[in-house]
Structures are given as C-alpha cells and as structure tokens.
Amino acid sequence: MISVKLPKKDIMIYALPIVGVLLFWYILATIFYSEVLPTPLNVIRKIGYLLTHEVADKTLYRHVGRSLFRMVTGLVIGISLGVPLGIFMGWNRYFESAIKPLFETFRMIPSLAWIPLSVLFFGTSELGKIFIISIAAFPPSVLNSWRGVRLVDPDMVTAAKILGAKDLTIMKSVVLPAALPSIFAGVQYAVSISWMCILAAELVAAGEGLGFLTFYGMEIPDTSLIAAGMLIIGVVGFTISQILRYLERVIAPWK
C-alpha cells in the first residue's frame, strides 16, 4: 500500500485527492453547523487539546492504553485457547468430527451478540470486555490452525514416520512449521476482528477507552471530539496492522 520509494510526482498524485476531500469537508463543515460536522481545523485543534488535557477524567494515553490492554489480554486468552484446539482438530480425525458441529454453531454467533451475556456475567467490569475479545479471537485462531494442520502435505508426515519419528517429533518439526503461516494468518485476522470488536464493545458499555471517547463525544455533544477519536482509532489500527506485517516476515519468512 504505502511503499517506501515513492517518486515525487507520485506523491503529488497521491496527495491531490486527499487535499480535495479535505477542501470538500471544509466547505461542507462551514455550510452546516459545527454540531453536525466539525471543520478539519477544529479536529486537528481537538487532537492537540487531547494530547495535553484530560477528557472524561482520563488522559488520551490512558484511553488508548485501556483499549489496547483489553484487546491484548483478550487476544492472548482467545488465541491460546483456540490455536491448540485447532491444531488438535487438524491432527485427530475423531476429535475433529466430534467438535466440528459444536464449533460451527459457536462460530455462527457474531462476537458482539455476546455483549448482553457478558454484561449479565460480569457487569460492566473489565472482565466483560476481555471476555468479548477472547470470544472474538477464538474462531479465527481455531479455524486457521485447523486448516493449516489439515493441509500439511501427508507425504511429509509419512516420510517422517518411515524415518522413525515419534508423533510428538512429527508434530514439532514437520506439522507445526508447515502450518505456521496459516496459523499466523489466523492470528492476524483475530487481531483485526478484535480491534473492531473492542471499539464496538466500548461504545455499548464502558467508562474509558477509545470507543468510549467517541461515544462521549456524541453524548456531550462535541463533533470534533468524535472525529478526533475516529482519526486516532484509524492511526492506532494502522500501526497495529503494520506491526503485524513486520512480525509475519520475522516469524514465517518461508511463506
């Protein structure tokens, strides 16, 4: 998407439409009231304000930190439950056929539909959000590990067996490395889903976090706060996806 070596002319062509949209936005914002649409300038000013002042009794860093903390904790739980289950489902045919119908039913339910139940279980505490993220991260981790292990070339496994490798050795040095790219793709998908999920969960029920920040902007109402929150959400999300791309190259370079 964004390559490092962009010639000067290309940067111009790339920047032109964005400038056009900003202008269009500015004109629209001056026509409408600021209660409907803030001007781009106000939004930038708001971001500057957010960097130095507290909103809803918390600094911006705390809001970002909260969202990330919930996301990472939930992800770790969901992935560390999902990946082993998926690997085992790919490994053992009987286990697979027993778990498959239950998993497929579970997978159908969108993770956000778990919010009411999580509120019933945990109230609006931190655990509730972590629960939602774990549930959101679980299906993609299972699915990709399962498929990854299933699609390992059976000849390679047979070859290892003929050479006298034990099941555990085959798992460790044949199946896992072959399935790793697929597992990592699952993790990547889990991260992007859970990022969307934490924002939605914070919109519906939370007292801090980035999703709450935009919700708070709607309540006051302060449209420049909403827009600033959305921009920050975009930047954080973009950073996360870039980090993941880098990790992918480090973890599974043979992909």
Partner 1 sequence: MKKTTLLTILSPILFLFIWQLLRWFNIINPYYIPGPSDLIHTFIFKLFSTKPDGSTLLQHTFSSLMTSLTGFLLAVGVGVPLGLFMGWKKTIDKAVRPIFDVFRQIPSPSWIPFSILWFGIGVFQRGFIVWQSAFVPAVINSYYGIRNVDEVYVNVARVFGFSENEIFRKVYVPASLPQVFTGVVTAYGISWFVLAAAEMLAATDGLAYMIWTASRLGRSDLIVLGMLLIGFIGAGLTTVIRRVERYFTKYETVR
* DSSP at 222: -
Does position 237 interact with partner 1 (CB under 8 A)? The reply is: yes
Does position 35 interact with partner 1 (CB under 8 A)? The reply is: yes
Query: Which string of x and - marks every residue 191-230 that binds partner 1 (by CB under 8 A)?
Result: ----xx--xx--xx------x--xx-xx--x-x--xx-xx
Which helix (H) or strand (E) segment holds residue 138: the answer is: helix 126-150
Q: Binding partner 1 by CB under 8 A: which of 4, 9, 52, 105? A: 105
What is the amino acid identity at position 32? F
Task: Give the Å distances, CA to CA, from 212 to 51, 58, 142, 239.
Answer: 17, 11, 30, 20
- Which two tokens mark 168? 């555990």
CA-based nearest residue to 206, from 137, 123, 111: 123
Which helix (H) or strand (E) segment holds residue 54: the answer is: strand 54-55
Query: Which string of x and - marks every residue 109-148 that binds partner 1 (by CB under 8 A)?
Result: xxxxxxxxx-xxx---------------------------
Q: Which residues bind partner 1 (CB under 8 A)?
A: 1-2, 13-15, 17-18, 21, 35-36, 93-94, 96-102, 105, 108-117, 119-121, 195-196, 199-200, 203-204, 211, 214-215, 217-218, 221, 223, 226-227, 229-231, 233-235, 237-238
